Structure 1
Amino acid sequence: MARAEFKVTMSKQEVVAAALPLQEHWLPLSNLDLLLQPLDVGVFFCYKNKQSMSFGSMVGVLKKAMAQALMTFYAFSGEVVPNSVGEPEILCNNRGVDFAEAFADVELKELNLYDPDESIEGKLVPNKKHGVLAVQVLSQIRV
């Protein structure tokens, strides 16, 4: 049975930056980016838990891999700021990606995936506060 009411408890919030320092520079947005209204896209992935790896170990591997990937995809560790004429641009300053660890007291089969705004948005998918990208890793717990 689908369940909309469940609790997500944040256990840790931090910022993951690229593994090596990057030279600060600006990237302009494309003409399409400037013409269209800003749109944040939330993506929700589910993976089967490996019993051989603890949640903390898995989070450590993910953060290390993200820091390595941000060296190539450095724009994701920047932030959108207005340029001198007020148009948004990406400041590639290695600010980092907001990274949150959390626990949810719901099983996947209990989520109402027919109405993701009700069950996922803001709970299982993080709201972006700063920067270009936000990541939230959840472990399911039963109480």
Structure 2
Amino acid sequence: MGVINEDSWIKVNRTEVVASKQLWHDHWLPLTNLDLLVPPFEVGSFFYYKKPHEPVDVTTMVDALKTSVSQALILFYPLAGEIVHNSAGEPEIHYNNKGVEVIEAAADVEIRELNFHNPDESIEGKLMP
């Protein structure tokens, strides 16, 4: 399997915060007992696309993805919030529509060379912190 190493490059083209297009007022959601059992961790994901044979405007593709994320945040609004502690010291979700970060990047590695079953081996934390 291929590895993104010192000879490979990853170029970040754009970084942007995408928020829900629907305006919401600040509100807080208490966590459930099940939420409190799971240790806190951040979730990140990346999407990769095969380079098309015909010329494609990547900006148009990324803008469509950002529009979809914005629309998804209307239904899944807690994802655009942050976990804070209330006056009793208990964690809760403060929905403030700060949005989610969308990063557009390119790499000089073939997708088929990456080992997604063991990303530490092939990606080495370079696509996502």
Pairing partner for 1:94 from 94, 97, 100? 97
Do residues 8 (structure 1) and 32 (structure 2) align? no
Unpaired segments ≥5 residues, structure 2 = none
Q: Which amino acid aligns with 1:24?
A: D
Residue 47 of structure 1, CA deviation:
4.2
Query: Where do 1:1-143 residues align within 5 Å?
Result: 1-5=1-5, 6-50=8-52, 51=54, 53-120=56-123, 122-124=125-127, 126-127=128-129
Structure-1 separation of matches of 2:124 and 2:25: 34
Is the radius of gyration larger for structure 1 or structure 2?
Answer: 2
Structure-2 separation of matches of 1:44 and 1:63: 13
- CA deviation string 1:10-37 (max 9, x = no partner): 1211100001211210011121221232
Normalising by structure 1, report the TM-score.
Answer: 0.74
Residue 42 of structure 1, CA deviation:
4.4
What residue is the counterpart of 1:136 in the other structure?
Answer: none
RMSD: 2.2
Which portions of structure 1, spanning 4 or more consecutive aligned residues, are displaced by more than 6 angstroms? none
Unpaired segments ≥5 residues, structure 1 = 128-143
Residue 41 of structure 1, CA deviation:
4.2
- Aligned-pair identity (%): 50
Normalising by structure 2, report the TM-score.
Answer: 0.81
Structure-2 separation of matches of 1:11 and 1:46: 14
Q: What number of residue pairs does the alignment pair up? A: 126
Structure-1 separation of matches of 2:10 and 2:111: 13
Structure-2 separation of matches of 1:84 and 1:121: 40
Q: Which region of structure 1 is more displaced relative to structure 2, 47-56 or 27-36?
A: 47-56
Q: 1:11 touches 1:101 (CA, 8 Å); kept in 2?
A: yes
Structure-1 separation of matches of 2:46 and 2:15: 18
